[in-house]
Amino acid sequence: MKAFDLAKEVYAALGVDVESALGRVNEIPVSIHCWQGDDVNGFENDSALDGGIAVTGHHPGRARNADELRSDLDEVWKLVPGPKRLNIHAIYAETGGKKVSRDELTIDHFSRWIDWAKSSGSGLDFNPTCFSHPLASEGFTVSSPDAGVRDFWIRHCIACREIAAAMGRILKNPCVTNFWFPDGFKDTPYDRLAARERLRGALDEIFEKEIPREYNLDAVESKLFGIGAESCTVGSHEFYMGYAVSRGKLLCLDAGHFHPTEVISDKISSCLLYLDEILLHVSRGVRWDSDHVVTLNDELLAIAQEIIRHGFDKRVHIGLDYFDGSIDRIAAWAVGGRNMRKALLQAALEPASLLRAAEESGDNARRLALLEECRTLPFAPVWEEFCRRCGVPGSFDWYAEIERYRKDVTSKR
Ligand code: RNT
Ligand code: ZN
């Protein structure tokens, strides 16, 4: 008997239907972030990464242009099973070598990305890029006290929303547009309120035009602190929770954007009592918001469990957000993408009725015992089968493709 069939029997004895878990997990898209491929560089090629985020490492083979990045993404698509979307930042515009100001970007600058999305059958998500730019160098963008700076970034965000809506319309698949601003104070401000009022006002201007939800969904991303913005981040969690609830926007929870003992898995159920939908930036902070490659750790499993246990499959949009330039970038992408899918599959294989019955019986030791036993259920053969059905190499095979591609492609860059 094959390992998969044995595993199916083990799960069936616990009341778990493996086939329906496989089917369910294959309906949940994961949005893969384009910026892992080139260290959040983009194609403007004249400004270094800033905004309080940082990539470390100089691994060779970084994608230097859009064609290389798309070729690398084709590899990632071959190695990560399940439905995928591509998440693009505005700095990945293709302007044909011409300098185009960020407030003048249009859908035409993304037409080749749309072609790629069509040919790979993936939806697109989008982000204005409000960092790595001379007008962001003072640490403030849309909440700047300087009206000229503020207006420039508001125009950029409005342009991005139009681009996103066009992507959604063309692909017949709503684009999730995430708004994150690095705005914050390095040292203790006297007036926190004024900056937050300016941010709220700017957002209201950006979102003034109604865009149908079948084309575009706006998300706003909070943060605790960034490098150079240690004392006060204008767009804090409370700020954006209030904004999203009052304006009917999606809230974006980034796993690295809270105090180290706070976890976003615990926030999902609260947020979804008050919001229709949320966006996740799945990331892994090590000691700070370091954006390490996502591993299959307890928090990743807990995030997936929250989605699966409560049937939030359509209300939680899953995006990845990490960047490691110290190792093979395509492998980094594949490890994180595969882990996200693994976590969803493991969550879908939980013996839900047993766990719920244990909790309802009040026997907390039984609940603890069951949860611990779940960790060693025969998950691996089910994962292998999922990969096989998706036409993606299994656990100990996929890295060979990384090595082949490195030899044939990235080592020649
Ligand atoms: C920064 C935010 C933001 C960025 C991307 C590149 O702390 O997490 O989401 O990582 O927009
Ligand atoms: Zn993020």
- The predicted pLDDT at position 3 comes to 97
Catalytic option among 38, 75, 218, 289: 289
Q: Using a 6 Å cutoff on CB, does residue 221 contact ligand 1? A: yes
Q: Using a 6 Å cutoff on CB, does residue 156 contact ligand 1? A: no
Is residue 180 among the annotated active site residues? yes
How confident is residue 46, by pLDDT bands cut at 50, 70 and 90?
A: confident
- The predicted pLDDT at position 214 comes to 98
Is residue 289 among the annotated active site residues? yes
Pocket test for ligand 1, best of 33, 55, 179, 180 (most atoms within 8 A of CB): 180
Q: Is the pLDDT of residue 304 over 80?
A: yes
What is d(CA 274, CA 271) in angstroms, rounded to the nearest whole number? 6
The mean pLDDT of 100-114, rounded to a whole number, is 98
Q: Whose CA is nearest to atom 1 of ligand 1?
A: 53
Max Cα–Cα distance, the chain, nearest Å: 70
What is d(CA 186, CA 193) in angstroms, rounded to the nearest whole number? 16
How confident is residue 73, by pLDDT bands cut at 50, 70 and 90?
A: very high
Four-way CATH pick for 24-348: 3.20.20.150, 3.40.50.300, 3.30.540.10, 3.40.50.720 = 3.20.20.150
The mean pLDDT of 272-281, rounded to a whole number, is 98
Q: Whose CA is nearest to atom 7 of ligand 1?
A: 53
Q: Is the pLDDT of residue 1 over 80?
A: no
Is residue 291 among the annotated active site residues? yes
Q: Which two tokens stand for residue 367?
A: 């609940």
Q: Beta-carbon neighbour count of residue 119 at 10 Å?
A: 10
Is residue 223 among the annotated active site residues? yes
Residue 159 in contact with residue 106, Cβ under 8 Å?
yes
- The predicted pLDDT at position 45 comes to 85
Q: Using a 6 Å cutoff on CB, does residue 125 contact ligand 1? A: no
- The predicted pLDDT at position 47 comes to 80
Whole-number Å distance, alpha carbon 87 to ligand 1 midpoint, is 12
The mean pLDDT of 37-56, rounded to a whole number, is 93
pTM of this structure: 0.98
Bridge partners (DSSP) listed for residue 30: 84, 318
Taking only the tens place, the pLDDT of each residue in 212-247 is 999 999 999 999 999 999 999 999 999 999 999 999
Q: What is the mean pLDDT of the chain?
A: 98
Q: Whose CA is nearest to atom 11 of ligand 1?
A: 180
Residue 195 in contact with residue 183, Cβ under 8 Å?
yes
Pocket test for ligand 1, best of 31, 33, 49, 53 (most atoms within 8 A of CB): 53
Residue 171 in contact with residue 117, Cβ under 8 Å?
yes
How confident is residue 107, by pLDDT bands cut at 50, 70 and 90?
A: very high
Taking only the tens place, the pLDDT of each residue in 318-364 is 999 999 999 999 999 999 999 999 999 999 999 999 999 999 999 99
Q: Between vectors from CA 321 to CA 411 and to CA 275, what angle results, nearest 5°?
A: 160
